Each structure stands twice: as structure tokens, then as C-alpha cells.
């Protein structure tokens, strides 16, 4: 069955590398995949801002694009978590609600998909770096994925992963980052201070949004930082040829 | 003033205060670490949490019936039971009892509900001396501040600051040794306990079945305050009533574990009523001769009918404060309410009324009650990280409730704001338009002068750089590299 | 009490700064009573508060799961002693060590709660303490600075406490 690639809007426009690396990874694993065209936004900004109704068109559009058989995989825990909640939206017909619940059950964040759906814990990557992993709140708590990304990273050759598991939310939080910017920034400062303390300049995560936020603060304060989406570490450019058996 | 703006103003000041930030981060971190060790070592912890959640769910569902039963049982035991619909009524009740007993000195055990109803100022106006006796609360009272945390009132202060307060306000020799500071407070307050006419406490739980008031503490101040004075007044929210005596076992286990990382609190007092009167052949009985319980509503019934009702399951352990990345920067004062962080964001607008626009009901659920308007909620002060959901011993889905408070707020939001989100929603079903808008955004970000961009996005750009923008979108590149994969 | 119970109680008491004394012979019991209330012979009082701050209570039992002392309204003065003493000596019968809070509450409830415990039950775990200044634990906040818990077999207590003990046994049956 074909795997469908779900490209969140901020990956589409702000960090395409994460989507491209996910595609490379699917190729590398020899999977039959496709990417539905005309994807938009999952609607989370409206949903999380308290305008649930405004998320309705997004859910219906998503259903239209992804209806059918096969897993949906996305390089974002946050958007996946949104898709899994579509069935809670108001004013859905019973049929739509069932369809959306079904759709949510087949939508997976990348590490979840690899480890729990495919049973792949070592996609055979090499990534020479000393790095920390950022637990993105939605991946960690909404989807309950704590070990999955860590298992994948532990298998990456030449990657030294420094344990920073007790860190807090980076302070992005969607609309929160602009509604209460002082605090959002203060939270990023805590994260950056921790990286500096451990002498780390590479940060890996399952969500581009958190990384964009932390990177933005690092750049504004001239702290050297390279942020990488998990997929970019698992399928670095130039390694796509080493196809897994 | 808009509550969010007022919050941001106070937060900005708190963020500048490095001493404050350090004090709070260190203290909350220590409590969290102790709590984590103890919870991890308890193989039954998840089961315990489920049990507690079930008890609190039942308490909330049967609240009317339990209030009646508790009132019956307490009355039968000789307790004088009062119900207060509002904070003002509760204050008046306490003042009347004090007047009747010609009281001069009142000692208080830490009680958030007496902070909620702002009891102390009224009693002081009536000429009573009112002393907070919990060490942390005593410190903040000397400073004229409200508590910064519901279980650790002075966690925003370090030993040097406490030392200065005691030397300034009590005339003690300056010291910053915690043992010596504690001793100063002990001596000062011991004399007051012996003299006090009335002891005021809150109530951690009330058992409906037996009419038992449970009070949990470490310092012994609540024990002294409910034993030495001749009158004991307990003020408690109507939501604190639990059905059965058996329910206390899991509750008294989970509360100290979460509040302070202890297997058991120093003292758990289960009070069944006033002390029996002294008789000729018995040695003199010590304990209050008169006991009052005031059940306070103050918006709780309306809250119970709203979509945030589950917050009434709260045990007031303070875990959601300790774990909140926002609280850990600011402490409680920035919230402008004695209930901060997740539990406070949810409770405060219902209990601490700000001039209102009347009660509203939305599809069967109240979005506001007397004195409450959803617009007064600080629901925006949350990144929805859900760390509080994970820690809450009553398993309250705090982040979902905050989201629902945002929705209530959204329904009454200004038309322009609602229209903007509608417009955004509309975009998501028009992929061409959405792609075009994305292209424009990228183009703008790539080509417009940096200073203009910063001026256009001040909320983001003050303190944050804009990201480098790719020339091509992800799908454009995918189409080029994998032409057969797109469909 | 089994050895494992004693071991676990010892560990819990040490964690809560309770000074646990297992009193297995009459001399050890006599020593504790002498230390707590200068008692040497005759019938000992079930509660006492001395001028110098020593306080004594004959407890209503112990909760094994937490190392807590149980006091009830049976002895009118117990609560005052437990909070006002500088050092609180509590003495409990080995036969009245309850497994945990749940078993104690269930038994007390079955025995008619109010008639069993009177106007209060107070569970005491360790000396009074505070961590309100920088989370540093300080013992002796408002109540006792020390809590000494003696546990002795009922057979040793009976000759010393006579009626007091008997009235209690009746109440709990």
C-alpha cells in the first residue's frame, strides 16, 4: 500500500529540507510513496487560538486530499496531533466524523511511523556531530513518543547524542509566541543556555516549528546553532544512494 | 484594563528580576525532583492517580448531594455550618463570629480560600489583629504581598531577602541562616497562638459520610491554630467535599507526594467536630469549644456548569505551578490572582470577578457567570506544552480546558478577530490561493528590507531573527526531483 | 511485627526524622518513660506535657506504610501535647501497628468512626518542619523539634497504663 507524505505548511514554505529529507528516507527504505498535491494547512493555528470552527475547512480539505487507503506520514508531531483531533471539531456530519477518526488513526509522525509501523530503528544513517535532542511537546505528550526518536538517533553512526531529556517547552506554542513574546523568548533563552552550558551547537527535533523558534532566538543573540529536523539526520543529502536491503 | 496587557506588564517586570527568576526556578526544580523520585519509586502510582481522579470526578458529579450530606453530618457533630454564595458573604460571616466572641487576635493557617475572599483586610478594618502563621505566608504578610505560590507562598524569596524582612519588620538581628530565621518566626508566633481567640483554617477535604474535615500540613501551625483558640473557623470551597471516609487514604497519599515530594505530610488532622466539653471527672479537654465550617461557592456552581468544570477536581497541590515553564520564570504575582499557572488561569476568572457583562450560556455550557466574562481569562498565557496534564494528580486535562477557555473567549472576541480566523480558515480550503499567499510571503521575506520586515512583525522580531527563506517551496522541489510521486 | 515490617518502619522513620525505638524488654520501656516524663513507678498517665517542653502521648497506633503516629480524641489532651511539646514522645502498642492508612480508616469506620476516634484523628509523621526558605528543610517549625516513637508489646504496656489502655481496647473492639 502506498504511503502518503503530508507536508505541513511551514515545512512547505519555511523549511522544505525536512520534507525533502523525509522523501529521501522513504526512498531509502524502498517504500512506495506519493505526495498528494494541493495540500494547505492543518488548521492548527485557528484551533489552538480558540477558533475551532475556523479549523473546519482545513479538516475537510485534508480529508479530501488524503481520503483512501495507506498510511499518512509527516515530518511534524504537532500537525499529526492536530489531524488526530479532527474528529473533535464541531458541526461535522456523522459520516465525516467517522472518516476523520479513521484518517487520524492512519496519520503518523515520522519516528512513530518508522519505529512502530515499520519496525525500523536503524535506517543506516551517518551524521558526524555532537548534538542534543529537543522533545517537542506535541510529539512527546500528545503523541506519547519519547523513545522512538531517541532509538533512531542512537543508531546513527558518528552521532554523539548528549542527554538533555529534562528540558522544558521551547516557548514557541504557535500564537503564544506572538501573543506573549517576552515569555516565549525567555523560554527559548533557557533552552539556549542549556545548549551553551553543554557546549552543543546542533539541535535535533521532530518539529520544525520549535526549531525555527529556537534558531530565531539563537540568531538574534549570535549564539552558534544548527537546527536539524530528525529526517535531515536520518537521511542526509548525498546518502540516499545507500539503500537499505 | 485588558487582563492580558496587565499580565504582560507585570511579567515584563518579573522577567527583569534575575534574583526572582533564580529563586523560583531553583525552588520549583527541587520540589519537582523530590516528587519525581518518589513517584518513580512507587509501583502503584498510576493506579493511585486513577483512583484519585475517580474520587474527584464523583465529588464533582454528586456535589449538591454531598454538600447536603456533609452539612447534615457536621451539624450532627455540633459544628456550625454556613454557606456563602459570595466572597463578601463569607467575609461577613467570619466578621460576625469574631464580633460575637469579642475576638481581638486571629491566627490563620495557610488557606488559599481566605486569600481568594481577601479576608484579612476586612478583619483588620474591624480592629482585629490577624496573623498568618505558615512560615512562608507569615513572611509575605510582613512584606504586604500575596503568596507567590499556593503551597510555597514565599518561594520567590531567598534567605537574604527573608533575613532583611525579619530585621526590618520584627527588629530581629539580621541572619540568613534558615534555622535561625525559622526560630525567629516560631518564637514570635508561639506567643500569638497562646493568646489567640480564633483560629482560621482552610480545608483540604471534607468527608460527606462522616462530616470530617481533613487538614494537611508540615509545620504544626494549623494544629496549634485549631487546638488552642476557643473558636475554630474552617473556610472551604464547596468542591472539596468527597463522598467517603475511605477516599481519604488515596487523597492523603497523593497530596503530599505532589505538593512537596513527601510520602506523608507532617500532620494530617481529621477533625470530627469541636472538642467535647470538659467534665468534672475528666482532665481538662483542650480543643476548640466552637467550630464553624463555611462552605464557599463564589462562582463555583457556575464554573461547574461550564466547559472548564473539571478544574473543580483540583487538589491544590501546586504541581502545575512547579512544572509550568511560564510560572518558573515569573512566580505567581504576575498573574494578578492568588491562583496562578494552569489551575489559576482556569479558576481565577470564575472566582475573582471583574466587572462583567452578565451571564451567558452557549449550547448548554456556561461561558460566563455573575462577575465572570471569558474575555477576562489569561488562557492565552500558555504554550499548550501540556506538561501540567502529565503531572496533575487528579488527571485534569488542563491544557484542553485552557483550550476550551480560549474558545469561550473566541466566541465573545471582537468581530474583527473572529473574521480574521474565518478568513484564515477559508484559505485552507483553497489550495491555489493558499500556495499563492505562501509564495507572496516567501517573496516578501526574501526581498523586502530587513528593517521593514521587522517593523511589520514587531511581536516576532523584537528579540528574534526572521528565518532564512528558501527560494522554492517543498512541493516545487519534490515535483522536480520526484515527478512521478506527486498526484 | 515481622522482621521485614520492622526493617521497613525503621527506614521510613529515619527518612522522616522520627526516632524509632523498638522496646522489646521492660527495661527499654522503663528507660523511655523515665526520659519522656520522669516516670519511675506506679501507673503512668496517658498524656503529659512537662514545663521543660517534653511531651508524652500514649498513641492509638502506628501506620506502617508511612511511619506515622496515630492519635485520637480518646485522650483529651493528646492533640495539645502533640503540637506544643518541644520533644514529643509517642508510645504505641506493637499490636496496633496498622498496615496503611486505608486499613486504619476502614477498621475505624467499621468500629463506628466517631465512637472509635472521638473528635479527631491526627496522623503525625516526623517532627514539625518547614522548607519555606529556599526549600531547605528545618525541623521544629511551630511544633516539636523531635519526635520519638516507642513501640512495645501490649503485654509490657498493660501493667504500666492500666485503665487507660483498657478503655482504649474496649473502644476499638
Give C8-18 pLDDT, tens digit per residue: 999 999 999 99
Mean pLDDT, rounded, for B448-475: 94
DSSP state string for B45-70: HHHHHHHHHHHHHHHHHTHHHHHHHH
Residue C57, chain B, CB below 8 Å: the answer is: no
| C-alpha dihedral (B429, B430, B433, B437), degrees to nearest 10 | 10
* pLDDT beyond 90 at B251: yes
Q: What is the predicted pLDDT for the residue at A237?
A: 84
Task: Find chains touching chain C: ≥3 CB pairs under 8 Å.
Answer: B
pLDDT at A241: 46
Report whether pLDDT(A111) > 70. yes
Output the pLDDT for position B287. 83
Give burial (CB, 10 Å; 0-12/13-18/19+) of B146: middle
Residue B81, pLDDT score: 98
Q: Which of C67, C119, C141 sits opposite B272 (nearest CB)?
A: C119
| Cβ distance of B442 and A13 shorter than 8 Å | yes
| Separation of alpha carbons C116 and B159, rounded Å | 45
- The predicted structure's pLDDT at residue B400: 97
- How distant is the Cα of B125 from the closest Cα of chain C, in angstroms? 28
Chains touching B (at least 3 CB pairs under 8 A) are: A, C
Residues of chain B with C-beta less than 8 angstroms from the C-beta of C102: 246, 249-250
Nearest-by-Cβ selection for B478 from A35, A184, A215: A35
Residue A61 in contact with partner chain B when CB distance is under 8 A: yes
Best mutation target, B264, B273, B282, to test chain C (most C CBs within 10 A): B264
pLDDT for position C3: 86
Torsion angle of alpha carbons B398, B11, A215, B472, nearest 10°?
A: 80
CA atoms in the 13 A half-sphere facing the CB of C111:
16
Nearest residue on chain C to B140, alpha-carbon basis: C132
Contact (CB, 8 A) for B392 and B319: yes
Measured in angstroms, the CA of A203 and the nearest CA of chain B are apart by 16
Query: For residues C60 and C73, what is the distance between their CA atoms, to the nearest angstrom?
Result: 9
User: Residues A216-233: what's their mean pLDDT?
Assistant: 97
The CA R_g of chain A, rounded to the nearest whole Å, is: 18
Answer yes or no: do B465 and A185 touch at CB < 8 A: no
Inter-chain touch A35–B4, beta carbons under 8 Å? no
Residue C172: is its pLDDT beyond 70? no
d(CA B260, CA B262): 6
Percent of chain A with pLDDT over 70: 97
| Gap from A233 CA to chain B (nearest CA, Å) | 18
Which chain B residues in 38-77 lie under 8 Å from chain C, judged by CB atoms? 77
Confidence of residue C167 (pLDDT cuts 50, 70, 90): low
- Compute the average pLDDT of residues B142-155: 96
Q: Which residue has the cell 494544629?
A: B223
Q: By C-alpha distance, which of B401, B282, B412 is closest to B359? A: B412
Distance from CA of C154 to the nearest CA of B (A): 24
Q: Tell me the mean pLDDT in the region C120-148.
A: 98
Task: Report the residue of chain A nearest B425, measured CA to CA.
Answer: A54
Q: CA-nearest residue of chain C to B30?
A: C135
Q: In chain B, which residues have their Cβ closer than 8 Å to the Cβ of A89?
A: none
Q: Which residues of B touch C109 (CB under 8 A)?
A: 210, 245-246
Whether chain B has a CB inside 8 Å of the CB on C79: the answer is yes
pLDDT at A245 over 60: no
Cα Dmax for chain C:
48
Contact: C142, B190; criterion CB under 8 Å: yes
Question: Measured between CB atoms, which of C16, C80, C132 is closest to B286?
Answer: C80
Instruction: Give the tens place of pLDDT for each residue, C28-84.
Output: 999 999 999 999 889 999 999 999 999 999 999 999 999 999 999 999 899 999 999
Question: Would you say A177 and A184 are in contact if contact means Cβ atoms under 8 Å apart?
Answer: yes
Task: Assess whether pLDDT exceeds 60 at residue B196.
Answer: yes
What's the pLDDT at B326?
Answer: 98
C83 Cβ under 8 Å from any chain B Cβ:
yes
Q: Are A150 and A133 in contact (CB under 8 A)?
A: yes
d(CA B197, CA A126) in angstroms, rounded, equals 75
Tell me whether B27 touches chain C (CB under 8 Å).
yes
User: Chains B/A: 3 or more C-beta pairs closer than 8 A?
Assistant: yes
Cβ of residue C101 closer than 8 Å to a chain B Cβ: yes
Alpha-carbon gap, residue B130 to B134, rounded angstroms: 13
| Whole-number pLDDT of residue A244 | 47
Nearest one of C16, C75, C58, C11 to C157, comparing CA atoms:
C58
Q: How far is A166 from chain B (nearest CA, A)?
A: 10
pLDDT of residue B354: 54
Which of B166, B143, B188, B136 has its CA nearest to residue B31? B136
* Beta strand segments in chain C, E: 18-22, 47-49, 54-58, 61-63, 68-72, 87-93, 97-98, 120-124, 129-130, 138-139, 146-152
Among B residues 250-289, those touching chain C with beta carbons less than 8 Å apart: 250, 252-253, 260, 262-276, 278, 282-287
- Among A156-165, B366-375, B447-456, where is mean pLDDT lowest? B366-375
Pairwise CA distance, residues B143 & B429, whole Å: 57
**Between A31 and C166, where is the model more confident?**
A31
What is the rounded average pLDDT of the residues C111-117? 95
Among A110, A16, A40, smallest CA distance to B476 is for A16
Task: Pick B467's closest partner by Cβ from A14, A53, A185.
Answer: A14
Given a contact cutoff of 8 angstroms between Cβ atoms, the answer to whether B476 and A23 are in contact is no
Average pLDDT over residues B193-219: 98
Residues of B in Cβ contact (< 8 Å) with C101: 248-249, 252-253
Partners of B40 on chain A (C-beta within 8 Å) are none
Confidence of residue B358 (pLDDT cuts 50, 70, 90): very low
- Identify the pLDDT of residue C173: 34
User: B36 Cβ partners below 8 Å, 6+ apart?
Assistant: B261
Pairing of strands A126-134, C47-49: unpaired
The per-residue pLDDT for range B328-349, each reduced to its tens digit, is 999 999 999 999 999 999 999 8
Full-prediction pTM beyond 0.80? yes
The closest of A169, A239, A243 to A207, measured between CA atoms, is A169
> Which residue in the set B155, B223, B283 is minimally distant from C79, CB to CB?
B223
Q: So what's the pLDDT on residue B355?
A: 46
Residue A123 has what pLDDT? Answer: 94
Mean pLDDT, rounded, of chain B: 93
Q: How far is CA C166 from CA A13, B144, C30, C117, in A?
A: 83, 52, 20, 15
Measured between CA atoms, the residue of chain C closest to residue B268 is C123
C contacts of B27 (beta carbons < 8 Å)? 134-135
Q: Is C118 exposed, middle or buried (0-12, 13-18, 19+ CB in 10 A)?
A: buried
Mean pLDDT of A180-200: 97
Query: B356 falls in which pLDDT band (50, 70, 90)?
Result: very low
Q: Any CB–CB contact under 8 A between A237 and chain B?
A: no
Higher confidence at residue B352 or residue B435? B435
* The pLDDT value given to residue B417: 85
pLDDT of res. A162: 95
Q: State the complex-level ipTM.
A: 0.96
Computed over every residue of chain C, the mean pLDDT equals: 93
pLDDT of residue B233: 98
For testing contact with chain A, the best of B383, B386, B468 (most A CBs within 10 A): B383
Rounded distance between C-alpha atoms, residue C84 and residue A100, angstroms = 64
Q: CB distance A37–B407 less than 8 Å?
A: no
DSSP assignment string, C17-63: TEEEEE--SHHHHHHHHHHHH---SSPPPSEEE-TTSEEEEE-SEEE
Q: C61 — contact with chain B (CB < 8 Å)?
A: no
C106: chain B residues, CB-CB within 8 Å? 246
User: Cα A38 from chain centroid?
Assistant: 20
Q: Phi, psi (5° rounding) for residue B7? A: -60, -45
CA distances from C88 to B50, C27, C91 (A): 37, 20, 10
Rounded Cα gap, residues C57 and C70, in angstroms: 10
Give dist(CA B429, CA C130) in Å, integer.
59
Amino acid at each position: 500500500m502506498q504511503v502518503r507524505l503530508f507536508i505541513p505548511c511551514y515545512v512547505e514554505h519555511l523549511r522544505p529540507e525536512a520534507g525533502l529529507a523525509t522523501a529521501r528516507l522513504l526512498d531509502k527504505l524502498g517504500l512506495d510513496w506519493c505526495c498528494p498535491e494541493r495540500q494547505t494547512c492543518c488548521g492548527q493555528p485557528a484551533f489552538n487560538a480558540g477558533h475551532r470552527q475556523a479549523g473546519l475547512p482545513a479538516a475537510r480539505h485534508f480529508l479530501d486530499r488524503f481520503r483512501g487507503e495507506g498510511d499518512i506520514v509527516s515530518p511534524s508531531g504537532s500537525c499529526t496531533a492536530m489531524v488526530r483531533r479532527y474528529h473533535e471539531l464541531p458541526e461535522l456530519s456523522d459520516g465525516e466524523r467517522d472518516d476523520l477518526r479513521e484518517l487520524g488513526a492512519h496519520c503518523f509522525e515520522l519516528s512513530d511511523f518508522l519505529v512502530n509501523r515499520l519496525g525500523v530503528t536503524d535506517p543506516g544513517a551517518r551524521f558526524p556531530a555532537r548534538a542534543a535532542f529537543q522533545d517537542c511537546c506535541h510529539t512527546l505528550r500528545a503523541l506519547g513518543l519519547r523513545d522512538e526518536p531517541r532509538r533512531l538517533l542512537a543508531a546513527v553512526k558518528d552521532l554523539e547524542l548528549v542527554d538533555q531529556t529534562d528540558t522544558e517547552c521551547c516557548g514557541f506554542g504557535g500564537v503564544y509566541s506572538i501573543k506573549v513574546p517576552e515569555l516565549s523568548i525567555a523560554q527559548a533563552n533557557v533552552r539556549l543556555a542549556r545548549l551553551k552550558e553543554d557546549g552543543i551547537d546542533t539541535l535535533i527535533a521532530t518539529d520544525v516549528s520549535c526549531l525555527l523558534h529556537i534558531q530565531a532566538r539563537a540568531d538574534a543573540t549570535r549564539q552558534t546553532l544548527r537546527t536539524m529536523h530528525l529526517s535531515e539526520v536520518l537521511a542526509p543529502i548525498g546518502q540516499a544512494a545507500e539503500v537499505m536491503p | 484594563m485588558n487582563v492580558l496587557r496587565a499580565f504582560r506588564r507585570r511579567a515584563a517586570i518579573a522577567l527583569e528580576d534575575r534574583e526572582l527568576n533564580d529563586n523560583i526556578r531553583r525552588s520549583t526544580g527541587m520540589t519537582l525532583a523530590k516528587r519525581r523520585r518518589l513517584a518513580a519509586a512507587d509501583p502503584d502510582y498510576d493506579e493511585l492517580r486513577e483512583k484519585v481522579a475517580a474520587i474527584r470526578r464523583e465529588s464533582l458529579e454528586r456535589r449538591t448531594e454531598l454538600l447536603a450530606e456533609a452539612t447534615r453530618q457536621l451539624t450532627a457533630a455540633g459544628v456550625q455550618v454556613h454557606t456563602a454564595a459570595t466572597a463578601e458573604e463569607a467575609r461577613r460571616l467570619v466578621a460576625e463570629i469574631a464580633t460575637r466572641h469579642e475576638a481581638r487576635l486571629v491566627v490563620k493557617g495557610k488557606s488559599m480560600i481566605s486569600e481568594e475572599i481577601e479576608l484579612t483586610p476586612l478583619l483588620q478594618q474591624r480592629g482585629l489583629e490577624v496573623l498568618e502563621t505558615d512560615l512562608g505566608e507569615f513572611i509575605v504578610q510582613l512584606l504586604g504581598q500575596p503568596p507567590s505560590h499556593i503551597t510555597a507562598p514565599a518561594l520567590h524569596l531567598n534567605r537574604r531577602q527573608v533575613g532583611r524582612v525579619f530585621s526590618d519588620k520584627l527588629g530581629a538581628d539580621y541572619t540568613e541562616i534558615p534555622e535561625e530565621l525559622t526560630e525567629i518566626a516560631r518564637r514570635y508566633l508561639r506567643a500569638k497562638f497562646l493568646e489567640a481567640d480564633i483560629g482560621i483554617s482552610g480545608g483540604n477535604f471534607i468527608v460527606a459520610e462522616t462530616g470530617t474535615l481533613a487538614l494537611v500540613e508540615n509545620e504544626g501551625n494549623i494544629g496549634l491554630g485549631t487546638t488552642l483558640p476557643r473558636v475554630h473557623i474552617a473556610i472551604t470551597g464547596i468542591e472539596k467535599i468527597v463522598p467517603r471516609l475511605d477516599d481519604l487514604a488515596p487523597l492523603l497519599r497523593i497530596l503530599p507526594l505532589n505538593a512537596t515530594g513527601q510520602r506523608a505530610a507532617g500532620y494530617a488532622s481529621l477533625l470530627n467536630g469541636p472538642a467535647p466539653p470538659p467534665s468534672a471527672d475528666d482532665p481538662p479537654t483542650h480543643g476548640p469549644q466552637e467550630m464553624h465550617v463555611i462552605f464557599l461557592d463564589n462562582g463555583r456552581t457556575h464554573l461547574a456548569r461550564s466547559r472548564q468544570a473539571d478544574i473543580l477536581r483540583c487538589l491544590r497541590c501546586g504541581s502545575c505551578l512547579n512544572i509550568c515553564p511560564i510560572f518558573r520564570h515569573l512566580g505567581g504575582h504576575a498573574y494578578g490572582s492568588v491562583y496562578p499557572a494552569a489551575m489559576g488561569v482556569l479558576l481565577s476568572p470564575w472566582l475573582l470577578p471583574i466587572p462583567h457583562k452578565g451571564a451567558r450560556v452557549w449550547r448548554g455550557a456556561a461561558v460566563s457567570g455573575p462577575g465572570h466574562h471569558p474575555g477576562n481569562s489569561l488562557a492565552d498565557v500558555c504554550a499548550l506544552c501540556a506538561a501540567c496534564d502529565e503531572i496533575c494528580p487528579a488527571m485534569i486535562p488542563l491544557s484542553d480546558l485552557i483550550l476550551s477557555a480560549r474558545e469561550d473567549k473566541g466566541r465573545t472576541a471582537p468581530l474583527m478577530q473572529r473574521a480574521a480566523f474565518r478568513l484564515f480558515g477559508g484559505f485552507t480550503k483553497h489550495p491555489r490561493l493558499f500556495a499563492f499567499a505562501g509564495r507572496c510571503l516567501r517573496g516578501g521575506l526574501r526581498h523586502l528590507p530587513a528593517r521593514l520586515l521587522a517593523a511589520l512583525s514587531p511581536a516576532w522580531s523584537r528579540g528574534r531573527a526572521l528565518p532564512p527563506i528558501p527560494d522554492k517551496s517543498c512541493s516545487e522541489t519534490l515535483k522536480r526531483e520526484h515527478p512521478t510521486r506527486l498526484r | 511485627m515481622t522482621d521485614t515490617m520492622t526493617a521497613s518502619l525503621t527506614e521510613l522513620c529515619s527518612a522522616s526524622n522520627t526516632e524509632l525505638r523498638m522496646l522489646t524488654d521492660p527495661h527499654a520501656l522503663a528507660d523511655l518513660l523515665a526520659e519522656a516524663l520522669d516516670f519511675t513507678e506506679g501507673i503512668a498517665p496517658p498524656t503529659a506535657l512537662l514545663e521543660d517542653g517534653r511531651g508524652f502521648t500514649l498513641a492509638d497506633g502506628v501506620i506502617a506504610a508511612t511511619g506515622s503516629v496515630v492519635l485520637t480524641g480518646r485522650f483529651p489532651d493528646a492533640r495539645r501535647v502533640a503540637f506544643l511539646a518541644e520533644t514529643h514522645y509517642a508510645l504505641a502498642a506493637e499490636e496496633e501497628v496498622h498496615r496503611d492508612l486505608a486499613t486504619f480508616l476502614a477498621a475505624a469506620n467499621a468500629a463506628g468512626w466517631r465512637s472509635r476516634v472521638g473528635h479527631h484523628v491526627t496522623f503525625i509523621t516526623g517532627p514539625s518542619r518547614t522548607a519555606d526558605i529556599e526549600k531547605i528543610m528545618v525541623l521544629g517549625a511551630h511544633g516539636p523539634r523531635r519526635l520519638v516513637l516507642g513501640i512495645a508489646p501490649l503485654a509490657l504496656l498493660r501493667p504500666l497504663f492500666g485503665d487507660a489502655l483498657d478503655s482504649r481496647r474496649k473502644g476499638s473492639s
